[in-house]
């Protein structure tokens, strides 16, 4: 599996529809300061489901939408589409597709949607698809400026989470947490039921 293309429109400095193609192997993006190199990486993090506007260097999520320049009006929406070559079927939930295409769109009024291979989906579907593949929104495949220092300076348990993601156990851990929380809700309901039954006796 590898990222072969991204299409960006209305995201940060990319007002015009912009296609970025990647070959297998190493790709370096060069350009003057402020020309949008980091914005390309942030577009990828965003389409993978990044939920923190702060980690995309914004105050709130609509800040990712092109905000206009002296010569050009602001835009009303941002859209990023990422194309993955999945000929090796590394991404599990798309066995029939050679390509996996994910896209995310956000309007200024807050309307938003994710799509997986053209069909509307939940953020969770995107999250699950990439969990433990090494390319999730929280994975270490994408390391922004300053993050390396943050990893070195992080607490032991945070660093452990990094190893867990790398070892592929994070998926099971997050499922266990979900199950535990469901069990606890069910136990609460049972307790309430017992109280009612006791009162009825």
Using the minimum distance from each CB to ligand ATP, give the nearer residue, 63 or 164: 63
Asked whether residue 10 is marked as a ligand-binding residue, the answer is: no
Angle between helices 156-167 and 170-200 (to 10 degrees): 110
For residue 37, say whether it is annotated as part of any ligand binding site: yes
Query: Which is nearer to ligand ATP, 57 or 171 (by Cβ)?
Result: 57
- The residues, any chain, with a CB within 8 Å of residue 169's CB and separated by 6 or more, are 132
- To ligand ATP, the closest distance from the beta carbon of 28 in angstroms equals 13
Rounded least distance, CB 143 to ligand ATP, Å: 14
In the complex, which residues of this chain contact ligand ATP (CB under 6 A)? 12-13, 31, 33-39, 63, 65-67
* E strand or H helix that includes residue 87: none
- Side-chain half-sphere CA neighbours of 40 within 13 A: 19
Nearer to ligand ATP, 18 or 97 (CB): 18
Phi, psi of 68 (to 5 degrees): 90, 160
- Nearer residue to ligand ATP within complex by CB, 13 or 97: 13
Q: How many CB atoms lie within 10 A of CB 169?
A: 14
Which lies closer to ligand ATP via its Cβ, residue 62 or residue 131?
A: 62
> Does the annotation list 36 as a binding residue?
yes
Least distance CB 113 / ligand ATP (angstroms): 19
CA distance 18 to 45: 17
What minimum distance in Å lies between the beta carbon of 20 and ligand ATP?
A: 13
**Residue 62 labelled as part of a binding site:** no
Taking the complex as a whole, how short is the minimal distance between the CB of residue 154 and ligand ATP, in angstroms? 23
Which is nearest to 174 in space by CA: 121, 133, 132? 132
38 in a labelled binding site: yes
Q: Scanning the structure block, which residue is given the tokens 């599996």? A: 1
CA separation, residue 151 to residues 20, 49, 135 (Å): 29, 21, 17
| Residue 182 marked ligand-binding | no
Q: Which residues are annotated as a binding site for ATP?
A: 32-39
Q: Which residues are annotated as a binding site?
A: 32-39
């Amino acid at each position: 599996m590898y990222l072969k293309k991204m299409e960006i429109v209305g995201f940060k400095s990319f007002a015009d529809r912009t296609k970025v193609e990647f070959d297998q192997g190493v790709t370096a993006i060069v350009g003057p300061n402020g020309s949008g190199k980091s914005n390309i990486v942030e577009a990828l993090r965003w389409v993978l489901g990044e939920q923190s506007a702060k980690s995309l260097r914004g105050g709130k999520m609509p800040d990712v939408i092109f905000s206009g320049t002296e010569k050009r009006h602001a835009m009303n929406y941002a859209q990023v589409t990422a194309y993955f070559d999945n000929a090796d079927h590394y991404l599990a939930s798309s066995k029939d597709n050679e390509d996996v295409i994910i896209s995310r769109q956000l309007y200024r009024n807050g309307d938003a949607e994710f799509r997986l291979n053209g069909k509307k989906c939940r953020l969770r579907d995107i999250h699950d698809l990439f969990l433990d593949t090494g390319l999730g929104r929280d994975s270490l495949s994408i390391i922004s400026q300053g993050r390396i220092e943050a990893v070195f300076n992080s607490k032991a348990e945070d660093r452990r989470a990094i190893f867990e993601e790398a070892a592929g156990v994070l998926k099971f851990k997050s499922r266990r947490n979900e199950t535990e929380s469901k069990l606890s809700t069910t136990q609460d309901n049972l307790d309430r039921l017992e109280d009612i039954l006791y009162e009825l006796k």
